[in-house]
Chains A and B, each alone.
Chain A
Amino acid sequence: MASLPALPRKYHAASIWLLYAVGLVPAAYGFYLGATGMLPGNPVKEFEHLLGLWALRFLVATLAITPLRDLFGINWIRYRRALGLLAFWYVLMHFLTYMVLDQYLNFAAILTDIAKRPFITIGMAAFVMLIPLALTSNNWSIRRLGPGWVKLHRLVYVIAAAGALHFAMAVKVVALEQMIYLALVALLIAWRPIRPRFNRWKRGNNGRPQFNRA
């Protein structure tokens, strides 16, 4: 299978930091536009929506790393932690924007929203589930938790599904955009039960030795 020219190992760390920097550009640019009065109409909502949308995009990108490797032989596993953490930072900023700029820290209104509006309940649940994943996205936790780490991080499937659902339920009419995110997340999750069989089949076809059999 054709594959991209490999990035020399000495640039790996730098490329990950670059991803963090580039990944935060939409938030920084959106904040700059909002703070300088260049977002039209309802600037707080525009910014809030931008952050939520990018959170969902980074979740989708995180889930896409494994199928990219399985299907196209592109190994970007080194970027997965950064993508997942970017998703977390965007969800955190999304929530803070809602709490501070939109609701002016009116905690009564915020708690009522979380308790009474299903799409906010679901979004909030996804945010809460992301916290342990973000806290354990480091080498020390992986060593410390052992097999438990993999189990814990399977929560990302629930989180991504909740995120896509939150987006679809937040709008008055579910349009193509929401359906695309729902479909992407569904496909990426559906790939997981298929992939052991697919990889066995691929190895059999290539007649390659079966290293790293799980």
Chain B
Amino acid sequence: AEALKASPSQYKVDEKLTPEKDVTTYNNFYEFGLGKGDPAANSEKFKPTPWTIKVDGLVGKPKEFGLEELLAMPLEDRVYRMRCVEAWSMVIPWVGFPLAALLDQVEPLGDAKYVAFETIVRPEEMPGQGGYFQSLPWPYVEGLRLDEARHPLTILSVGVYGKTLPNQNGAPIRLVVPWKYGFKGIKSIVKITLTDKQPPSTWNLAAANEYGFYANVNPEVDHPRWSQASENRIGEGGFFGANRRPTLPFNGYAEEVASLYAGMDLRANF
């Protein structure tokens, strides 16, 4: 990992950072295996450079961005809460830039309503994408509404803890949407497409009753398998300490984002 230069940002959660060791060894990235330690253990063969992201669909100027261009965007330090759908959380210092800055360059057309994302498929470098037992269909896909994608909190991250992203965290570039469950934060992105229809998302395809398109953090709406009312903060409290805390609506970002969902039934649109 190389050091990144970034400017400070107003978006800085005033909570204790999750230790770098936990941020980089406790991951869900099924392309490298199902265990939390698998991504760190099985991703050494993955090559995050060279890299390009193709941006197309309902845009005036479709474009392929090279990694150098992406790293040259106005990078900021952002400290966000990260809430996994499995009821654990972290506080992570990301380095990234607003997704809106990239979208501006391709000039979305008037009928573009959604943004679709796609992860790379490289079974020879990503052991979870090969073999007889495939956990999910590849590529991993995700989507946002255009207004969610343009929200200033939504970033494309190229680094964590001041350095370029380790492979297990989604190198070289990933999405971070802090008011949504972590699985929305699609990793190792190669394609972004603007569309007029709600795009598919991998976990919703796998189990539509468990994972909705919106996936906004919501302590009121339980996952069928676990309560979302509280969460375990990773790297704090250890074995006996009180590290279970109440989960906040929109993961604590309600003030910034609740208006995006005004008038919507958040139980139906989970």
Determine which residue in B22, B25, B225, B234 has the highest number of CB atoms from chain A within 10 A of its CB, and name it.
Answer: B225
Please judge, given known A-B contacts A173-B30, A175-B34, whether A117 and B238 are in contact too, CB under 8 Å: no
Bound form: Cα–Cα A144–B224 in Å: 44
Find chain B residues with CB under 8 A from A112 CB.
227
Nearest CB of chain A from residue B208's CB, rounded to whole Å:
14
Inter-chain contact A101/B242, CB cutoff 8 Å: no
Find chain B residues with CB under 8 A from A172 CB.
86, 207
Query: Which residue in A47, A119, A171 is a CB contact (below 8 Å) of B239?
Result: A47
Inter-chain contact B232/A45, CB cutoff 8 Å: yes
> For residues 104 through 136 of chain A, which have their beta carbon under 8 Å from a beta carbon of chain B?
104, 109, 112-113, 116-119
Inter-chain contact B227/A109, CB cutoff 8 Å: yes
Nearest CB of chain B from residue A50's CB, rounded to whole Å:
13
Inter-chain contact B224/A41, CB cutoff 8 Å: no
Query: Which residue in B30, B225, B229 is a CB contact (below 8 Å) of A119?
Result: B225
Bound form: Cα–Cα A170–B133 in Å: 18
Nearest CB of chain A from residue B212's CB, rounded to whole Å:
15
Nearest CB of chain B from residue A64's CB, rounded to whole Å:
24
> For residues 8 through 25 of chain B, which have their beta carbon under 8 Å from a beta carbon of chain A?
21-22, 25
User: A42-B26, A119-B225, A173-B30 provided; 8 other pairs, C-beta below 8 A?
Assistant: A37-B239, A41-B37, A43-B239, A45-B232, A112-B227, A113-B227, A117-B226, A173-B136
Q: How many residues of B contact A (CB 8 A)?
A: 30
Inter-chain contact A41/B234, CB cutoff 8 Å: yes
Find chain A residues with CB under 8 A from B240 CB.
35, 101
Bound form: Cα–Cα A97–B37 in Å: 22
Determine which residue in B88, B234, B239, B244 has the highest number of CB atoms from chain A within 10 A of its CB, and name it.
Answer: B239
Nearest CB of chain B from residue A213's CB, rounded to whole Å:
45
Nearest CB of chain B from residue A62's CB, rounded to whole Å:
27
Q: List 17 A-B contacts (CB under 8 A).
A: A34-B238, A40-B25, A41-B22, A41-B25, A41-B37, A42-B26, A42-B36, A42-B88, A42-B232, A102-B244, A104-B244, A117-B224, A118-B224, A119-B225, A173-B30, A176-B133, A179-B133
Asked if A39 CB lies within 8 Å of chain B CBs, one says yes
Find chain B residues with CB under 8 A from A45 CB.
88, 232
Binding site for A on B (CB under 8 A): 21-22, 25-26, 30, 34, 36-37, 86, 88, 133, 135-136, 206-207, 222, 224-227, 229-230, 232, 234-235, 238-240, 242, 244
Q: How many A-B residue pairs have CB under 8 A?
A: 65
Quick one: closest A residue to B25, CB to CB?
A40
Lowest 8 CB-CB distances: which A-B pairs, in order?
A41-B26, A173-B135, A34-B239, A176-B133, A43-B239, A37-B238, A175-B34, A35-B239
Inter-chain contact B229/A42, CB cutoff 8 Å: no
Bound form: Cα–Cα A175–B22 in Å: 24
> For residues 28 through 48 of chain A, which have their beta carbon under 8 Å from a beta carbon of chain B?
34-35, 37, 39-45, 47
Main secondary structure of the interface of B (DSSP, over half): loop
Query: Which residue in A42, A103, A104, A119 is a CB contact (below 8 Å) of B234?
Result: A42
Nearest CB of chain B from residue A41's CB, rounded to whole Å:
4
Inter-chain contact A175/B133, CB cutoff 8 Å: yes
Bound form: Cα–Cα A116–B242 in Å: 25
Binding site for B on A (CB under 8 A): 34-35, 37, 39-45, 47, 101-104, 109, 112-113, 116-119, 169-173, 175-176, 179
Find chain A residues with CB under 8 A from B21 CB.
40
Bound form: Cα–Cα A170–B86 in Å: 11
Quick one: closest B residue to A31, CB to CB?
B239
Find chain B residues with CB under 8 A from A109 CB.
227, 229-230
Bound form: Cα–Cα A175–B34 in Å: 8
Nearest CB of chain B from residue A111's CB, rounded to whole Å:
11
Quick one: closest B residue to A45, CB to CB?
B232
Bound form: Cα–Cα A175–B232 in Å: 24
Quick one: closest A residue to B40, CB to CB?
A40
Find chain B residues with CB under 8 A from A171 CB.
34
Nearest CB of chain B from residue A29's CB, rounded to whole Å:
14
